[in-house]
Amino acid sequence: MAEEVREPDATALDEVVTFTSELIRIDTTNRGGGDCRERPAAEYVAERLAAAGIEPTLLERTTGRTNVVARIPGTDPTAPALLVHGHLDVVPADPAEWAVHPFSGEVRDGLVWGRGAVDMKNMDAMVLAVVRSWARRGVRPRRDVVLAYTADEEDSAADGSGFLADRHAALFEGCTEGISESGAFSFHPEPGTTLYPIAAGERGTAWLKLTARGRAGHGSKVNTANAVTRLAAAVARIGAHTWPVRLTTTVRAALTELAALYGIEVDTHAPDFDTDLLLDKLGPAAALVAPTVRNSANPTMLDAGYKVNVVPGTAVAYVDGRMLPGGEEEFAETMDRLTGPDVEWEFHHREVPLEAPVDSPTFAGLRAAVERFDPDGHVVPFTMSGGTDAKQFSRLGITGYGFSPLKLPPDLDYAALFHGVDERVPVDALHFGVRVLDHYLKSA
């Protein structure tokens, strides 16, 4: 019997570039507060799934905020299903700041340019190209693969994965694990060293609203109960606070593997272990871990007053807080102390932190898939400083990993492109991702 073809066909490699470019051209900017319309992108995906014989289901909680779900049956009906999910919305982009129009999808100099090129219409396109290639080649995965293209990830997920988890859980029946964005991208801390961080954890989201109340009055009068002053003091304390080190299982594994790669002996459980000292020794590689050894809170928005000569009675600020697994109580106690008696705080939006096992067969399979196509690369586990739709799907008992494989050139700062200017992805990186995903998904 002839051996099954292992590589995706040439059409898949062409289609991933086309799909990435054309999805970028569909402006799905999510400005928050419901200001987004993903339906055109959802219909684009659904049409291409249907053309490959994969039946899509389109679902909306709010008109125009469309999600696409489809299931590809596997060859082993006893195997648990695997969820592969990606979001269709993107953050805003100002064309005046870009070298190319952010919604042009221009393919230039071996790069696909535009908002969503790395976050995350590239992954959406890679998965679409892979499953269409399967249809042409008569390939079936070992386990059921459930595809979910979601709305609203860049805001609250209320119209996207949250809605799907709450209202359409049956579509994800049998799914035990999932993969999505923010992992398996190449990172070059120094010449000759290539790391592929695979996310096995996410810090929890804690977006906060701070409200200070005081005595309203004329701006020319002495006011010892000024809401703006009270709020400003609390915001300054939060911004200046140094959070204590809190090492999770995934972060310990990341530190241990990175230390071994650089020939540094460490015991992260030792009483005298100094996390910051190790990070200093790791040099540029520390960037993968440094944002996730602590909880964090960054003030981001202020809203107070309506006239320069009027002291307002209330002042409001917003804070982007992030909590590590096990760090929720510490986070709340710290915010109580930093805000003080004159400022109230509440969760404006909250999502739980996640942690997936790094010693699991799933993580081993993800590692093997990357190293198959880049034997000189080093896969390491890491925790995302931010978060993904995996938080919502975790309510269904689905363990999530960040796995959106890209082999990038050393001079491309992938992390800076997330929500940044001149977002772009190399065509070769898309081809690498298609090959890795094709190999992993059909055999997982």
The SS3 of residue 114 is coil
Q: How many residues does the chain have?
A: 444
Give the span between the Cα atoms of 180 and 85, in whole angstroms.
Answer: 5
Q: Which residues, in sequence order, are bridge partners of residue 343?
A: 212
- Please tell me the distance from the alpha carbon of residue 74 to that of residue 263, in angstroms, as a whole number: 43
Mind telling me the catalytic residues? 89, 153
Q: Is the peptide bond before 120 cis (omega within 30 degrees of 0)?
A: yes
272 alpha-carbon distance from chain centroid: 33
Strands 175-180 and 81-87: parallel
- Token digits of residue 80: 């648990």
The CA angle 158-160-162, to the nearest 5 degrees, is 55
Q: Residue 71: which of 55, 87, 85 has the closest Cα?
A: 55
**H/E element, 330:** helix 328-339
Calculate the dihedral angle through the C-alpha atoms of 200, 383, 324, 121, rounding to the nearest 10 degrees: -90
- In sign, the C-alpha dihedral spanning 174, 199, 162, 164 is negative
CB 187 within 8 A of CB 418: no
* Order of strands across the sheet that contains 296-304: 296-304, 314-323, 204-213, 343-351
Half-sphere exposure of 398 (CA within 13 A, CB side): 31
What are the phi and psi torsion angles at 24 (to 5°)?
-60, -40
Contacts of 30 (CB under 8 A, 6+ apart): 36, 89, 90, 91, 92, 152, 153, 154, 155
The three-class DSSP label of residue 104 is coil
Nearest C-alpha neighbor of 194 from the set 265, 285, 126: 285
> DSSP secondary-structure letter at 29?
B
Give the three-state DSSP class for 172. Answer: helix
On whether the CB atoms of residues 217 and 223 are closer than 8 A, the answer is: yes
Tokens coding 443: 């055999």
